[in-house]
Chain A
Amino acid sequence: MRNPLSDRIVALKPSGIRKFFDIVSEMDDAISLGVGEPDFDTPWHIRDEGIYSLEKGRTFYTSNAGLKELKEEICNYLKRKQGLTYDPAREVLVTVGGSEAIDIGLRAVLNPGDEVLIPQPSFVSYEPCAIMAGGVPVIIELKAENEFRLTAQELENAITDKTKVLVLPFPNNPTGAIMERADLEAVAEVVKKHDILVMSDEIYAELTYKEKHVSIAEIEGMQERTILINGFSKAYAMTGWRLGYACGPKEIIEQMIKIHQFAIMCAPTTSQYAAVEALRNGDGDVQEMRTAYNQRRRYLMNAFREMGLECFEPFGAFYVFPCIKEFGMTSEQFAERFLAEEKVAVVPGTAFGDCGEGYLRISYAYSLDNLKVAIGKLADFVGKLRAEQGKAP
């Protein structure tokens, strides 16, 4: 038989998380700090609206770009939260999670050989999506000393005449880093100077613990060159509903709608009705969850201080990214031993890019009680490693 497979797909690296997932799922009693989704249930009034839409028989396709009410509510929301104005009829596309928006957004803008700047550590999809879209990923390695923010200089250094688009993943998974207005202004200058696009993945926009989240589209002259991606998964604890959206210049959104209509048709109808309710009446739920995450974040930062584990203070998402370089192991070795000896799963930083080496992603999408047990075990493990290495506790 002829080779049945696509060379481009075969050459893609499988997700670094997958391997770890396989080990963990075979252990019944493992505690996990490895999830990338909220521990809260979707607020009941949102679920109820989904159920109600089913009862009413709203079980058909919606228009390709999404329900009109939902697109309008998305625009109201972005106006209310970010002060951004989008035309619901032409500048919004409802997608199957933020993930679809990343995929089709890159496909809509890339020509073969175009370079895509991807700051890492970051979410696992950007690099493969860029490759699948025929682009060339160019990694920008973010630094702990900059609190894993992207600096204008780092951006400047990575730009070539082939650069087409910068992926801007903040608040960041896995580091928890944020970009504040001044950081974004500096980056925006470089972006405008070189006339490139930005794909801003703001799926964690609601989960910041310092100032309110700022979108790069808010910066003067940036909205017209930004594809803003957001969704319902993290803010409203709706991961399983698979619903996100992209907003941007109508020329780009129009092309994205074309891919979306041929590949997906439309995002799930039930989820879209539920999402309308989330945007109309969900601000209080978001506030409550944000408060709970922030308490856990403070708890973890304090616990790391007490065990002397180096960790910059993250102000976004629901992850902390402690440094384990003092133990002289790779992230993967550390995570594997920690799992084998203490039965706690964390994700090695390298799952999010090579420059995640020496770090772990610890999720705090767990109740405080669960965190306490797991962090107790981390303290024991760290103590054991230091004793092995003959360090004073």
Chain B
Amino acid sequence: MREELLAIVEKNSRIDLKELAVILGVEEIDVVNELAALESEGIICGYHTMIDWEKTSIEKVSALIEVRVTPQRGQGFDNIAERIYKYPEVTSVYLISGGYDLLVTLEGKSLKEISGFVSDKLSTLESVLSTATHFILKKYKDHGTILAKKYEDTREKVTP
């Protein structure tokens, strides 16, 4: 049940427990216990809400920043990654194979705020060799959800 449960809550964390139990064909108490176990094992790390900020009047700017760093002896990339991810405006940090080392995503109120962060905070970190900032212009799909279009049922209403 674990894999199926995770696949469901990954898409819809608000689904109620009774319904989960019904569609999985198990008892509600089993769902409760399994979710608790998944949380305590750190497999379920949080429950978030996907928001398309574009549709609100709130201004938000996001950027992807490629960062090349010098790994530190005995620490590898962990130490520098931690120094970056502790900034609250940083929404994710990934260690990447290929042309650069860390991919940092950032959310800010304005272009200025983001460029300020890159030039004042990120670039000045000792082991950072270079950065390249890409501003996000439009999100088409995020977390497996298509934002650009709404689903429309175009099937004939009654078919054999």
Residues of chain A touching chain B, judged by Cβ–Cβ distance below 8 Å, are 15, 17, 20-21, 24-25, 30, 32, 34-37, 39, 123-125, 173, 291, 295-296, 298-299, 302, 345, 347, 351, 368
Contacts and interface: CB of A to CB of B under 8 A. Distances in A.
Given A30-B157, A296-B23, A298-B25, 8 more contacts: A15-B160, A32-B157, A36-B160, A37-B155, A123-B160, A295-B8, A298-B23, A299-B23
B151 to A, nearest CB: 8
A39 B158 contact: no
Contact of B158 (A21, A125, A295): A21
Contacts of A298: 22-25
A295 B159 contact: no
Interface string B139-160: 0000000000000010111111
Interface string B116-160: 000000000000000000000000000000000000010111111
Given A39-B153, A291-B4, A34 B159 contact: yes
A116 B4 CA distance: 43
B22 A17 contact: no
Given A291-B4, A299-B19, A25 B157 contact: yes
A295 B156 contact: no
Contacts of A302: 22
Contacts of B156: 21, 25, 35
Contacts of B159: 17, 21, 34-37
A35 B154 CA distance: 11
A34 B153 CA distance: 13
B152 to A, nearest CB: 11
Contacts of A295: 8, 23-24
Contacts of B153: 39
A347 B158 CA distance: 8
A37 to B, nearest CB: 6
A30 B158 CA distance: 11
Contacts of B8: 295
B91 to A, nearest CB: 27
Contacts of B24: 295, 298
